[in-house]
Structure formats: C-alpha cells, structure tokens
Structure 1
C-alpha cells in the first residue's frame, strides 16, 4: 500500500521506505489516538519496531494490516521495542504468549518493568507529595484502583539491549542507541544505510514527549533527554519515523525545534519561581499546557500528574545549572531564585 494521503491515524499498512511499512494501531481513550508500529521485511517474515497496546481491537487491526502486505501475526520474528510504555510494549507480550515471538528492550527499562510487574505505585505517590501535589494523590490512587483487572500485563523481555549495538534485521543493520529521557531505558534504532530513524517517542513531529513520571525515576530525566536529543545531531540527518504522528523528512530540524522549546520552557519555569511559585505543583499551575497553552485546571487528572512531573524535571535542570536553588521541608521540595552575586568593583 502507498504512503497514504489521509490523517496519520488512518488504518492500514503504508510503505515509508523499501521493505518498511508504517502500521498505525488504535489507542482507545488516549489523546494520542494511535501509535505507529513499523514492520520491516526480512525475506522470511517481519521484525516489528514497537508493538502497540495489547488489546483485541489493536491486535485485530495489526493482523489485517500485516495481511495486506502478505504476512500473518505468526510471521513476526522479533519485536524491537523502543520503551516499556503500554502502547509500545504490551502487544508484544500478548503475541509472545501466542507465538513465542522474542522481545528485545533497552536495559535501562529494567527497574520500571520490575515495578510494573509488581504493581508498584507508591513511589509515584511519594513523588507527588515531594512536588507539592499532595491533592492529586488520592484521585490518582482511585484511578489506579479502578483500572480494568483484565488490562494488558507486563512481563520481562527475552533480551535486554545493554547499550549501543548493531542488530541484524534481514539484510539491513539497525544500530540500537540508548536515548534516555522520556523513559530511563528508551532506545532508538538507526538505519544509516537507508537513512531512517525509528524514533519511538524520543523525537515526535508535533508534540513533546512527557518527561519525569515513572516509578523508578532518573535523577535528572530532562537533562538526560536534552543530552539524548543532542546525540541525534551527531548522526547524519535521517528520515524521522515517529511513534506518534506522520513521517517527517528531517530528524535534525525537529531536534533543533525540541531543544529550543525546552530552553523556552526552562525560562518560563524560572520566571514562575521568581514570581513566587515555590513547588513544582505551583509552577505547573502558572504554565500553559499543550500547543493551545491550556490552563492546568482544564487537563484531566493523569495529564495534570504528567504536567507536574515534567515541571519538576525542568526545575531540577535549573537547579543543576545553578539558576535556582532547592531545599526540602516536611517532605516537600521548595525552589527559590539563586541570589545574584556581583564581583568586586
């Protein structure tokens, strides 16, 4: 099938490069609407980069989309998963139960996979308290308690990708590159010969990925993310194959936009602290959210939680840069402007 002329969420299998097909799969009740899975032909089957959310609706669409290019679910030889979020990982687990398909995932995801298997959420509640968002704890706990018990389950992968390494996929070689930030163990897959970047959620064409809210949180997740963005600038400019949104021609162009966005956001965050907001929660309530600059109170609960976590990530970078200082009192982290100093006259 061709590249498609409709919305990027339109169902189907769309050839984005010779032997590579983009397959959008649905995300029910999710603002992102769909996730792109990429099927790479190997000569004897396909390897999938990411897998989709392990729901029957998504599995049926994956089956029909693969069928349109001559493959069945049992022809999937391997999953190369960019990160452990449910819309990328859990379909792989479901299909492994059916067909024994192998799953590879970045080693940095191990602490959060273990937390997901154990159902560990207390660390997230503690983080909200530290960020001054204790009013969100009980609603989030209730939201977690109300989740469908039949939701997709987590399991460990067959293979941990320990760092940068080459992976043979049919006649092509993909370079797995750790890109922590959106999650601790996010990886992208670089096909330099075909000039393609299978970017997962690391580089998205229209939105910025969430940063900083996971059970086993990195010490400086936004700092990791900015470093991972700059790392993409050390590769040749590649075609962007994102997990959410349409294919784009230039990774470098979007990386530059994302770096500029976060510098602007850091400046806005510092200004909010100078205006008297002392906690991540208080700062988040002063900032605009989404491309429409929505007020914090108009967001749904889970996006409010993500917004506070992302604000904390920006505040911590400002502390690391010595633009702000922080202290902890009664378990809540407070941020203050760094006093200006002047040299000798």
Structure 2
C-alpha cells in the first residue's frame, strides 16, 4: 500500500509504522485548513515513525513545521506518541478529551515503578499465577521501565469538548465522544459533503472506535487512585449506536483502511459482543476467576501462544465483559472467594 493516500476534499492519510505490532501502522490523517495542516493523531514515538510522518508530509508539499494543530482521538502511544515532537517542531496546539488528558497527566506524575506495582497487584487479585507475576516483580525490582511507552507523553493544551465544532479555519469538524476503548476516546465528524458525492452525512475520523475488520480492545479503565466501578463495554456499545445514528458516507479509521456503510459495521460489532457475552455465560456455569475465564475465551491464537503482554490485555478484556454481565444481572461474584470468582446467574 502507498505511504500516502488522498481521500479528496483536502484530506489525506499517512501510514506511520508501529514497531513490533501486528497492526503494522497507524493512519495519521492530514486535514487541510485555512491556517495550515491539522493532523488527526500522530503515530508512535520512534525514529522510523517520525521519518514516515515527515516524509509523508513532504510528499504533500508541506512539512512538520507547517502543522497548525494536532487532534488526538485517544491517548494511546500509537496515536499520541509523536505529538510532542510535532509541537516542538511547529508550535502546533494539541487537543484531547479531558478524560484522556487526565490519564496523560497522571502517568507523567506517577513515581517510577508505580504502574508495575499496580499491575502486579491487580493481576494477583484476578487469579494470575505466580509464574506470570514474577517477571513484573523482577522488572520492578531492577528498575526496568523502558518497555512501558507513554510515560512522558506530551500534555495537551486544548480540550476537545463533545458536541462542539473544533476551531479549524474553513472546516466543520465536530467532536463525538465515544468512550469504551479509552474513557476519553473521540471520533471526529467532518460535516461536509463527500468529495465523491457518496450518500450520507460527511465523513468520520473514527480512531480505534470503528475499524473495518477488527474489534478494538475493550478493557477496564485503569486508574490506581479511583475505585469507581466503570462499565467500559457498556460505554463502547452505547458509543457504537451513537456513531451508527450519524449516517456518515465514509469512515476514515486509524488502522486498516477507509470504508463505507458504517451502520452495517456497527451492527456487526454489536452482534459480536452480544455473542461474546453469551459465550462467556456458558463458561461461567462453573465459578471462574477473570484469569481462568480469559484462558478459556476464544482469541486469535491458543492461550499458550499468546505473548506475556497480550495476556494482560486479554485478562482486562475478560474483566470488562464480566463487568457488563454483572451490571446486566447475568453474572455475579461468588461471596467470600479469593481470588474472586464469578458465576452465571
């Protein structure tokens, strides 16, 4: 695939690589405005990614120095990673939803090793075996933090307010709050006629919320200092329906490729998660910890072939589905169990 794709109407996408990740790349979108180019996401903070971003902009006849602003769909490092470098090179503003800005601020302020402590304790509480916890504890004891991205991500200087138009000269770009993948994830509705006159209401920069061929990770919202019981999967399903009602002509996601018929894709994802919840209820005829449930769930490979870090993500996804089942009254925690187990009601 080409590094640069023109989508018409002053919109392009740049393929910015993600190191050692099966997704391969982030699609950074470039939006022409009356004050200069505005980026939707920036890509991973890594030299090869920076080179791809700068070369892509040069192919469009512009440069990082000309970037007027950066709109971030969510705080993850494959989206927000290069924002700081872009701002340093151009003086551009960076905009993000307040809920994800709070995560960036909290991460920057955390003491070294705090995340590893939290993760090890949390995994122990959901039934992870000692063999899985040992590497985390060893990394903490040895002060190894290099493998954790996003520890010094740039602090945004503008807030994306749901429902409002962003201040982009000559463009109508409206923020749609779509929590689920992160608490502050936003999609961006370009409320302009489609350049190819496709039927529908404009185009949607969907970030990771709506992808053409994969379901985004929906895990728990992680905040070591907040005991609020959240429902990320419920948030995501509600957000999907909200996006489906927009009736957009085309979706420009942050991974894979642009696509049409957003409503059909929304229906597929809603059905996928309902089937997943039904399948988990069948597993929960016997009380299981979240770790045991994750071991028995269907993934894209057998559990014994899932890498260490991906197992942490899988367990978080199992927990998010359990939270949803508990909220719906379809499962409950077994009183007195430790680590806590859950059973279908």
Equivalent of residue 290 in structure 2, options 269, 280, 283: 280
TM-score when scaled to structure 1? 0.88
> Structure 1 residues 46, 303: CA separation in 2 closer, same or farther (over 3 Å shift)?
same
Distance (Å, rounded) in 1 between the aligned partners of 2:263 and 2:303 = 31
1:70-81 aligned at under 5 Å gives the runs 70-81=61-72
Normalized per residue, the structure richer in strand is 1
After superposition, residues 119-268 of structure 1 pair within 5 angstroms as: 119=110, 120-121=114-115, 122-135=117-130, 136-142=132-138, 146-148=144-146, 153-194=152-193, 195-216=202-223, 219-268=230-279
Cα drift, residue 97 of structure 1 = 2.5
SS at match of 2:52: helix
Shift of 1:242: 0.7
CA deviation profile, 1:101-160 (whole Å, cap 9, x unmatched): 210001111332123213441333333223222543333455675443896621321012
Closer, same or farther: CA 147–17 of 1 in aligned 2, 3 Å: farther
| Aligned mate of 1:84, from 63, 75, 97 | 75
Q: 3-state DSSP class of the match of 2:7? A: strand
> RMSD over aligned Cα, in angstroms?
2.1
Tell me the TM-score normalized by structure 2: 0.88
Extract unaligned runs of 5+ from structure 1: 1-5, 339-345
Aligned residues: 325
Unaligned runs of 5+ in 2: 194-201
